[in-house]
Amino acid sequence: MLCTRLRAALSIQFRRSSSSTPSPFPYIHSLPRHFSSTPLPIASMASNHPKDEAYLRKVIAKRIQVFQSIQSRQLAQRESLPADPIKITLPDGTVKEGKKWVTSPMDVAKEISKSLAANALISQVNGVLWDMTRPLEDDCELKLFTFDSDEGRDTFWHSSAHILGESVEQEYGCKLCIGPCTTRGEGFYYDAFYGDLGLNDDHFKQIESAAMKAVADKQPFERIEVSKDEALQIFSENHFKIEIINDLPADKTITVYRCGPLVDLCRGPHIPNTSFVKAIACLKASSAYWRGNKDRESLQRVYGISYPDKKRLQEYIKQLEEAKKYDHRLVGTKQELFFCHPLSPGSWFFLPHGARIYNKLMDFIRSQYRERGYQEVLSPNMYNMQLWETSGHAANYKENMFVFEVEKQEFGLKPMNCPGHCLMFQHRVRSYRELPLRLADFGVLHRNEASGALTGLTRVRRFQQDDAHIFCRESQIKEEVRGVLDFIKHVYDVFGFTFDLKLSTRPEKYLGDLATWERAEAALAEALDESGKPWQINEGDGAFYGPKIDISVSDALNRKFQCATLQLDFQLPARFELYYSAEDEAKRETPVMIHRAVLGSVERMFAILLEHYKGKWPFWLSPRQAIVCPVSEKSQPYALKVQDQIFRAGYHVDVDTTDRKIQKKIREAQLAQYNFILVVGEEEANTGQVSVRVRDKADHSVMSIESLLKHFEGEIAAFH
């Protein structure tokens, strides 16, 4: 029953608008009615799909046999090593004794308490995530994580993806591709090739039943390390896995995990065993292309969710049902804010009321730019591919760009602003006195997203960002980062968001010298400390060209989104040979570049805010701040006069000139989410007043136009 409700909460359908459908805003001039949206994928009807039992038995038996052979060899090697004593330091400074190659994090957890051992999902050893059952190899600092941590949740959902993979392979004999936890941090999926089988709810029930059987079997997650040749042997019958393996360097050590009959390529780590998962459900299925290439095999992606108890799954279902009601595609269509047309997929049309919100968001950021020392610039939309070769995008990002020929030369629409801003810095000699130089740009960006990946306003091809790049000296990094964090806090406080901060540090492969990285990371850490907000370290997750701060916001439905960006870059300034004159004019220095955005994509933030506010826009951002409702036709001239006064004061105001009864006008205005409903009749016309009703409040009051406008001013000022 739970899982049926869960999938019902996800089955959002859109009906194509037709000219015969009455407008929800009949008192406003007719607007284009192209509110057609692509429905979420609907699986085909269930079918009896035979699986090749003989093939499955052969493949699974072979994989397990090779796995066990390698595992036995590695266990024997480990047992031959000396079990020297080691010291295990816990976060509180406690030091535990252990034995090298024998003691595991689970042993330490059991020594601390039974409760911890029952709930610890994953550990971190000297900053590296580590299986709870994997023996420790030397003196170390040890941290343990439960489901209530990001590390614990990600590992839990990653392990659940393996349970899902095991289930679909066992049930349908499909060829498994990849199965991670989702980047949004809310569940997991597994891509697989099913041939001509289309999955639906009946299949989901079978998958869930198989998954719960795997959970009941308490299958341990076992880990081995293999060579490339051994990996090719294990997965010889799966060309998808073979392709992944062949892309790895010849000397690469590959990790492979097993749970029950499933043996899979995986970096890990994983939870101790499948029984830690107490509730698991399939959410939906959608199509995907192997490696995102539309010319390759068509796969099916099954999404799932799991929890360590059933109560959390019930809460998640309730949250999904709530989110369904306020999906931005539904509310945006109802409020006539935007639409998408098949003649321009992934590029949204913003109607007058939607454009009001879009522009207000940019105006809000612009007002902050003036206060915070940013200079807004305009840059071209398309560039010769030479620019993208210099920046590195031609080699690493070209498939995500729109590329075309102009006069026998290759050009590309910009997917980001940073290379263009490098040209702006470069176009004349710069002095240290000009730094920090903060360049902001709302330029239109295009990214060639696959049509199947396009999702409302959150995954688009054409968008704008509140993009800015700060060119500064290394000694200015801390102060600039502190300023960006303050900027982000101010904006998110206005929106009513909470947010989390993580410092992502130097990865294994990085550009530049170690000392510069360490100084930059220290500067970021100091800025984070001074922000007054708690933060965490995300070891080794920085980009190769610089450390970054990851900012994730939580909305009213407790969903997490990553919108803001704060990234240090040592690479682009070097690639573009940027420099400035130091105090000693004979000396040139290379600036550090800071990429930052607060809203991120304006389209995506629009969608998040629409769902966060549940369509009830705050007054300062509302596209429908007020509506004047005349009691009768006799009151219309005064209503239009009131509208004119409010409009001239700078507010968004409409008039309902229909012949409906006043109660009906008020009800329609309430449904349209006007912040203020202003009723006027003969009495108000004679006294120069309006009867004011505030959205979601039962009472009303009578005010003069002057008093009303002062009240509006106070509403606008309050958001700051």
Q: What residues act catalytically? A: 418, 447, 465, 467, 469, 548, 595
Tell me the C-alpha distance between 461 and 452, whole Å. Answer: 12
Tell me the C-alpha distance between 337 and 351, whole Å. Answer: 5
**Other CB atoms closer than 10 Å to residue 573's CB: what's the count?**
20
Which ranges of 129-280 does DSSP label H, i.e. alpha helix? 150-172, 201-216, 228-234, 239-246
N-to-C CA span, the chain:
46
Q: Which amino acid is at 132?
A: M
111 near 98, Cβ under 8 Å? no
- The residue written with tokens 């321009």 in the block is 344
DSSP 212-228: HHHHHTT-B-EEEEE-H
330 near 12, Cβ under 8 Å? yes
- 269: preceding bond cis by omega (within 30 degrees): yes
Sign (positive or negative) of CA dihedral 560, 564, 570, 573: positive
Q: Give the max Cα distance, the chain.
A: 100
DSSP 616-646: ---TTT-S--EEEEESSGGGHHHHHHHHHHH
Nearest Cα to Cα of residue 133 among 75, 63, 186, 84: 75
Nearest Cα to Cα of residue 297 among 398, 199, 166, 195: 195
**Other CB atoms closer than 10 Å to residue 29's CB: what's the count?**
7
The C-alpha angle 300, 304, 307, rounded to 5 degrees, equals: 165
Nearest Cα to Cα of residue 262 among 167, 121, 133: 167
Tell me the C-alpha distance between 486 and 498, whole Å. Answer: 14
CA Rg, the chain, in Å? 29
Q: Report how far Cα 108 is from the mean position of its chain's Cα atoms.
A: 35
Sign (positive or negative) of CA dihedral 682, 688, 691, 694: positive
